[in-house]
Amino acid sequence: AQTVTQSQPEMSVQEAETVTLSCTYDTSENNYYLFWYKQPPSRQMILVIRQEAYKQQNATENRFSVNFQKAAKSFSLKISDSQLGDTAMYFCAGYSTLTFGKGTMLLVSP
Amino acid sequence: NAGVTQTPKFQVLKTGQSMTLQCAQDMNHNSMYWYRQDPGMGLRLIYYSASEGTTDKGEVPNGYNVSRLNKREFSLRLESAAPSQTSVYFCASRKSDLFKSYGYTFGSGTRLTVV
Q: Is A51:A33 a contact under the CB 8 Å cutoff?
A: yes
Q: What is the pLDDT of residues A12-54, one digit of tens each?
A: 999 999 999 999 999 888 778 899 999 999 999 999 999 988 8
Q: What is the pLDDT of residues A45-70, one digit of tens each?
A: 999 999 988 888 899 999 999 999 99
B103 interfacial to chain A (CB closer than 8 Å): yes
Residue among B10, B22, B43 nearest B113 (CA): B10
Q: Is A58:A75 a contact under the CB 8 Å cutoff?
A: no
Distances (CA, A) of A98 to A13, A36, A101, B1, B94: 28, 11, 10, 24, 10
A102 interfacial to chain B (CB closer than 8 Å): yes
Full pLDDT tens readout for chain B, 115 residues: 679 999 999 999 999 999 999 999 999 998 999 999 998 888 999 999 988 889 999 999 999 999 998 999 999 999 999 999 999 999 999 886 655 667 789 999 999 999 9
Q: A45 to chain B: nearest residue by CA?
A: B106
User: Minimal Cα–Cα distance from B33 to chain A, Å?
Assistant: 9
Question: Taking CB atoms and an 8 Å limit, are B58 and A44 in contact across chains?
Answer: no
A64 interfacial to chain B (CB closer than 8 Å): no
B115 burial (CB, 10 Å; 0-12 / 13-18 / 19+) is exposed
